[in-house]
Amino acid sequence: MKRNTALAAVGGFTLGIGAMALVAFAAAPSLMIVEDDSLLGFEDTIETLKTTAFEKGWKIPTVHRLDDAVKPAGFEVNRVAVIELCQPEFAGRILSDEHGMLVTSMMPCRVSVYETADGRTIVSRMNTRFMAHTFGGTIAEVMAEATLENEAIIASVIN
């Protein structure tokens, strides 16, 4: 009797863990990436984001036109650009902390603007607000501040 109860408990626990893993796996994309429809067209969205970023003291190291990058390889895709956003104050605080180097692969902040097949313009970015909590220390502090400013920049095209 005790053996059956123990097997049932282990089986139930394992099933519960499996179910939680499936739910977490299914929810992960929506937790990690945030997307919004832009109120503007593709080019105007990019220009407004750049202008707003500059007004708020951010730098734009580059804008990657991914559609142009894949065209020579024979791919015709909808327009898509990745805008790099850098705020020197935030970057300096991260780079001054040796533990901060952990997140340099996510620097500078990136915002993607792309067109859908039905003509909508989408603004996409990592959910750094969610991710910031996982790091702690200087990284969490700086990422939280940067996220607030990034979202204020993005609000210029989505609200």
Q: The tokens of 83 are what? A: 């805008």
Query: Does the structure show a pLDDT above 90 at 114?
Result: yes
Over residues 52-87, the pLDDT tens digits come to 999 999 999 999 999 999 999 999 999 999 999 999
pTM for this prediction: 0.80
Of residues 40 and 11, more confidence is placed in 40
Kindly state the percentage of the chain with pLDDT values over 70.
Answer: 83
pLDDT for 31 equals 73
Residue identified by tokens 């499936």 is: 22
Alpha helix segments (H runs only) across 2-136: 2-32, 42-55, 66-70, 88-95, 128-135
pLDDT for 96 equals 93
pLDDT for 12 equals 67
Query: Does the structure show a pLDDT above 70 at 10?
Result: no
Kindly state the percentage of the chain with pLDDT values over 90.
Answer: 64
Of residues 134 and 121, more confidence is placed in 121
The helix/strand/coil state of 92 is: helix
Q: Where are the domains of the chain?
A: 33-158
Peptide bond connecting 72 to the previous residue in cis, omega within 30 degrees of 0: no
Rounded Cα gap, residues 122 and 125, in angstroms: 10
Query: Does the structure show a pLDDT above 70 at 113?
Result: yes
The domain defined by 33-158 carries CATH number 3.40.50.1100: no
Indicate the pLDDT class of residue 5, thresholds 50, 70 and 90.
Answer: confident
Of residues 18 and 26, more confidence is placed in 18
Query: Does the structure show a pLDDT above 70 at 6?
Result: no
